[in-house]
Chains A and B, each alone.
Chain A
Amino acid sequence: MGDGVIIENVKHVLHFGKEAAKLKNRIRELRRAMGLTQDELAGALSVTRQTVIAIEKGTYCASLPLAHRIAVFFGESIESIFIFDEEDQ
C-alpha cells in the first residue's frame, strides 16, 4: 500500500458527495407527480428517508440495483430518470 494510495483514499472520502452532484435525476418530479412523500417512497424502495433525500439532492449516487428499483417503481427507464451529463464529467 503506497503512501499515495492512502492520501488519495483520504481525499476521496473527504470529497464524498461532491462528485455525485453532477448526476442529475427526476426523482423529486416523479415522486411529486405521484403525490408521494419522501418517507413513502423510501418505504416502497426499502431505503431510509435520508437516502431518498440525498439522491434527490444529487449528493448521493444510487447503486445500479437501487436505480433499477427506482425505475421499476416509477415505470420508466433508468436513463430517463438519471440524467448523465457527459460535459459536466
Chain B
Amino acid sequence: MDFKKKMKINMIYYAALVALGAAFIVLRILGYMPDIFISFGCAYAACGLAMLIRNGVIISNPEKLKKLEIESKDERNRMIYGKAVSLAFNIFIYAAAAAIMALELVGMSEAGLTVALCLCGFVVIYVVCYYILRARS
C-alpha cells in the first residue's frame, strides 16, 4: 500500500481515538463512568490529537514524508525494533518471576497472582505468535 495512503488511514484511527477519549470524558462528567475513565479519556484524546497533527504535518510535506517512509521501511531499523522487543520480553519474564516471589514474600498474594496471570497471558500470546510466524515463514 502507498505510504501516504497508509498515513491517511492512520489519521482516521487517530480521529476515532480522539472521539473515544472525548466520549470517556463526557460520560465521566455526566456521572456514567468511574473516575479512572477521565484519565483514560485525557490520555486517548491527547495522544490521538498529537498523532493527528504529526501525520497532518508529515503528509503536507513531501520531503518529510519520503524521509519517514525510508525510516519506517529501513530493514536495520526494523531489525533493531524486533531485537529490542525480544530483549524486553525476555527481561520481562525474569522481572515478573522476581516480582511474583517478592509479592508473595511481603504477603501481597493477590497482586502476585495478578502478575502471574499476566505472565501466563504473555506466554500464551507468545506461543500463538510463534506458531503463526512459523507457519508463514
Contact = CB atoms under 8 A, between A and B. Distances in A.
B90 A6 contact: yes
Interface residues of B, number: 18
Interface string B75-94: 11100100100110011011
Q: Which interface residue of B70, B86, B93 has the most chain A CB atoms within 10 A?
A: B70
Given A1-B126, A13-B83, A48 B90 contact: no
A48 B123 CA distance: 34
Interface of A is mostly: helix
Contacts of B90: 6, 9-10, 13
Contacts of A62: 75
A16 interface: yes
A46 B76 contact: no
A15 to B, nearest CB: 11
Interface in B88-137: 90-91, 93-94, 123, 126-127
A47 B86 contact: no
Q: Which interface residue of A16, A43, A48, A54 has the most chain B CB atoms within 10 A?
A: A48
A63 interface: yes
B73 interface: yes
B76 A10 contact: no
Contact of A13 (B70, B75, B87, B126): B87
Nearest to A63: B75
Nearest to A59: B76
Nearest to B78: A63
A83 interface: no
Contacts of B127: 1
B86 A48 contact: no
A51 interface: yes
Given A6-B90, A6-B93, A51 B74 contact: yes
Given A51-B76, A54-B76, 18 more contacts: A1-B123, A1-B127, A6-B90, A6-B93, A6-B94, A9-B86, A9-B90, A10-B87, A10-B90, A10-B91, A13-B86, A13-B87, A13-B90, A16-B80, A16-B83, A47-B70, A48-B76, A66-B75
